[in-house]
Amino acid sequence: MSVLKGKRILLGVTAGIAAYKTAWLVRLLVKAEAEVRVVMTPSAKEFVTPLTLSTLSKNEVYSSFTDEEDENARWNNHVELGLWADYLLIAPATANTLAKMANGVCDNLLLAVYLSAKCPVLYAPAMDLDMYKHPSTNATFEKLESFGNIQIPAGHGELASGLVGQGRMAEPEEILNFLEKYIADGLPLRGKKVLITAGPTYEAIDPVRFVGNHSSGLMGYKIAERAADLGAEVTLISGPSHLQLQHALVKIVRVISAQEMLEAVQAHYASAHIGVFAAAVADYRPVAPAKEKIKKTGDTLEIQLEKTQDILGWAGNQKKEQFLVGFALETQNELANAKKKLEKKNLDLIILNSLRDEGAGFKSKTNKVTFIDKNGTILPFELKDKAAVAADILDYIIAQQ
Ligand code: CTP
């Protein structure tokens, strides 16, 4: 999944021959699941038609302050467009438009949008090699850099004039990669490794039976997905769960028993910056699982259980720089019990869910949680779906980094 998913990209197209490539650029942005709107300078329409770009972007294309062909002309609100965008991308950006941007000239809709946009502005210059090298163009680039605008460098190659040199607009794929990298670099968990446990564990009684619980794994999977969306490199150690998660930044390690989960955590913990232990680990396991299927010979059957190792407790013990988060599922004396667990397991944060709250707990799609941190601060939340709870947890962690 691309970091562009759900992002609002306002593409400004100016009058350079490379404008024909914006059809492909819009297609790539839409494929990456970005929301795309296009603003063109009036002369850009000579190079690529608004119909092409509106069809590909699935949105109306704007090029003037009012819709000239419509008698009931509507005002194309440049402020609203500028504020709508998460990113303003101007490609191709001609020498003319760039010089106007650098000097606050505002004689078309795109320039008005540029002046009113509050979001990051990226631009892909496109011009002939001598124009590109001209001191005036250089001065323009420097001025735009001082405004915080970001240049997507022009490539080297054959230009529309037939000359060979630097000045051709970066290819649509390069623009897309540049934009994705720019967004990814700005994500709050970029460079952080997050270790997450999720799901139940199954403890074998014999080759076909086990001691387990009803955990779906959903809470841990949602935390993993959100952490990855925020730029973290995630290792998700999952007990048996039917859930899937496809994300370039998530590595899933599938385990069955508490012992396997412990070993997987031990292999990944030292390099983690953040640990979130959401698994519902079996507290006990059969002492001696039968090698063969147990036959129903007697009227009763006794299975002796022994304690599994507390994985989170181990992690708390080994903690160095990690920010460590655990869960507590309680039915009585909730706050007091959760605080005890926080201290005993050396956590930074414990997330309490009470089985007394309707819609909370490990079988449900929603959760109602209370955060308790190591300073004793108590933060109760409303009932929310688990994706929203995951967002709250990660926002809290990010604020502590
Ligand atoms: N946990 C763990 N390994 C275990 C048991 C629990 O990592 N063997 C983690 C869980 O993932 C969770 C937290 O510890 O983050 C829960 O703590 P626990 O003491 O097991 O609380 P409860 O499950 O609520 O159990 P109890 O109240 O019965 O002690």
Atom of ligand 1 nearest to the CA of 279: 11
CATH of the domain at 99: 3.40.50.1950
Residue 296 lies in a domain: no
CB 151 within 8 A of CB 138: no
Using a CB cutoff of 8 Å and minimum separation of 24, what contacts does 45-54 make? 46/15, 47/15, 47/16, 47/17, 47/19, 47/20, 48/13, 48/19, 48/20, 48/22, 48/23, 52/23, 53/11, 53/13, 53/22, 53/23, 53/26
pLDDT in tens, 106-154: 999 999 999 999 999 999 999 999 999 999 999 999 999 999 999 999 9
Q: Which atom of ligand 1 is nearest to the CA of 344?
A: 19
pLDDT of residue 359: 75
- Beta bridge partners, 166, equal 156
Average pLDDT of the chain is: 95
Which CATH number covers residue 269?
A: 3.40.50.10300
Residue whose Cα lies nearest atom 9 of ligand 1: it is 312
Looking at the structure, do residues 242 and 180 belong to the same domain, yes or no?
A: no
Position 38 in a domain? yes
Q: Please answer whether residues 140 and 128 qualify as being in contact, where contact means their C-beta atoms are separated by less than 8 angstroms.
A: no
Contact partners, residue 150, CB within 8 Å, separation at least 6:
120, 121, 122, 123, 182
Same domain, residue pair 308 and 219:
yes
Same domain assignment for residues 169 and 217? no
Q: Same structural domain for residues 327 and 264?
A: yes
Please check whether residue 12 lies inside any domain of the structure: yes
| Whole-number CA gyration radius for the chain | 28
Distance 353 CA to ligand 1 centre (A): 12
Q: What pLDDT sits at residue 97?
A: 98
User: Cβ of 309: how many Cβ atoms within 10 Å?
Assistant: 11
Helix, strand, or coil here: 262? helix
Task: Please tell me the total count of domains within the chain.
Answer: 2
* pLDDT greater than 90 at residue 361: no
Shared domain check, 140 and 269: no
How many residues are present in the chain? 401
213 tagged catalytic? yes
| Cα 388 to ligand 1 centre (Å) | 23
Residue 79 pLDDT:
84
> Alpha-carbon torsion 69, 12, 115, 144, what sign?
negative
Pocket of ligand 1 (CB under 6 A): 197, 258, 277, 279, 281, 283, 308, 310-312, 326-329, 341
Confidence band (pLDDT; 50, 70, 90) for 78?
Answer: confident
Is residue 215 assigned to a domain? Answer: yes
Q: Could you tell me the distance, in angstroms and rounded to a whole number, from the CA of residue 354 to the centre of ligand 1?
A: 14
245 in Cβ contact with 226 (< 8 Å):
no
Residue where one domain finishes, among candidates 185, 212, 232: 185
pTM of the full predicted structure?
0.86
Q: Which amino acid is at 291?
A: K
Q: How much is the average pLDDT of 250-261?
A: 98
Query: Looking at ligand 1, which residue's alpha carbon is closest to its atom 8?
Result: 310
Which of 329, 331, 340 for mutating ligand 1's site (highest number of atoms within 8 Å of CB)? 329
For residues 154 and 282, membership in a common domain is answered with: no
Does 112 fall in a domain? Answer: yes
Q: What is the structure's pLDDT at 68?
A: 65
Domain for residue 238, yes or no? yes
Both 329 and 392 in one domain: the answer is yes
220 and 103 within one domain: no
- If asked whether residues 177 and 197 sit together in one domain, one would say no
Q: Is the pLDDT of residue 64 over 80?
A: yes
Q: For residue 101, tell me if it sits in a domain.
A: yes
Of 146, 169, 185, the domain-final residue: 185
Distance from Cα 213 to the centre of ligand 1, integer Å: 13
Note whether 164 and 268 are same-domain residues: no
Vertex 75: Cα angle to 19 and 70 (nearest 5): 80
| Residue 3 domain flag | no
* Per-residue pLDDT, 69: 62
Q: Residue 329's domain spans which residues?
A: 193-291+301-400
- Looking at 185, 206, 223, the residue that finishes a domain is 185
Indicate if the pLDDT at residue 215 is higher than 90.
Answer: yes
Contact 11, 26 (CB under 8 A): yes
Record the tokens describing residue 232, joined without a space: 């973290």
Instruction: Please determine, for residue 347, whether its predicted confidence score (pLDDT) is greater than 90.
Output: yes
Same domain, 132 and 161: yes
Supply the pLDDT for residue 116: 94
Nearest to 85 by CA among 116, 52, 47: 116
Say whether both 228 and 170 belong to one domain: no
The number of the ligand 1 atom at minimal distance from the alpha carbon of 258 is 8
The one catalytic residue in 59, 213, 337, 346 is: 213
Structure tokens given for 378 = 């108590």
